[in-house]
Amino acid sequence: MRLLVVEDEPDLARQLVDALKEASYAVDVAYDGEEGHFLGDTEPYDAVVLDLGLPKMDGVTVLERWRRDGRNMPVLILTARDRWSDKVAGFDAGADDYVTKPFYVEEVLARLRALLRRSAGQASPELVYGPLRVDTRGARVTVDGNPVKLTSLEYRLLAYLMHHQGRVVSRTELVEHLYEQDFDRDSNTIEVFIGRLRKKLKVNLIQTVRGLGYCLTRPEGEQQVEVGQAGQ
């Protein structure tokens, strides 16, 4: 899962980015509203942490422009403003949740997990598919109750597929949502990570859909998967 942090305080931005990366997210950061708006308008983020008091362009304006242009990723407002009118302005601009500074990083992480689950139509913090369970609270994976140790990128890939159960996910989409902006992206490495996941999970749950991408296999008798973004 790929996130964007738009925060002009360098120490706070670094604290957030470090915590999010520790939780196995891919994270980009912007330090002013103009850069944040550009990244959010041109990159496919799964969620955004957005400060309201930004230089060059305030957070409410950034959010209003994203929503006007059809950018629907979940947005968590993070700001020192605690007046009810500022909260209302953020929600009216299209925010999905709100945290006031000072804050605990654990709360931000929990709220982001909830936003990501809701945007994917998932209610529980534990994603389940047959014998496979992914606990998003601790980035823990088990198969038939047995723990499976994954690297950060392997977990990120599996979590993305689990959040998007029921449809085919292309290689291009996976690359866009697994790596930071400045990472040397190579769609061919996705096949390598898929192979590693299959070996570690030891269950045949990840299906290759030729010419389209990957999906979690559907048990017999269930509805066929929906094709997502075409092309690998």
* Section 50-72 average pLDDT: 95
Contact predicate 25/1, CB 8 Å? yes
The Cα 211–Cα 79 span in angstroms is 44
Q: Dump the DSSP string for 43-97.
A: S--SEEEEESS-SSS-HHHHHHHHHHTT----EEEEES---HHHHHHHHHHT-SE
Burial class from Cβ neighbours inside 10 Å (0-12, 13-18, 19+) for residue 161 reads buried
How many CB atoms within 10 Å of residue 106? 9
pLDDT of residue 182: 63
- Most confident range, picked from 49-53, 79-83, 201-205: 49-53
* Section 199-221 average pLDDT: 82
Secondary structure (3-state) at 141: strand
Q: Write out pLDDT tens, residues 133-161.
A: 999 888 899 999 999 999 988 999 999 99
pLDDT of residue 29: 97
The Cα 62–Cα 121 span in angstroms is 26
Helix or strand holding residue 227 (H, E): strand 226-227
- 187: pLDDT confidence band, cut at 50, 70 and 90? low
Domains and CATH numbers, the chain: 2-119 (3.40.50.2300), 126-227 (1.10.10.10)
| Chain-centroid distance, C-alpha 28 | 11
Lowest-pLDDT choice from 30-39, 46-55, 118-127, 140-149:
118-127
Q: Name which residue leads in pLDDT, 190 or 39.
A: 39
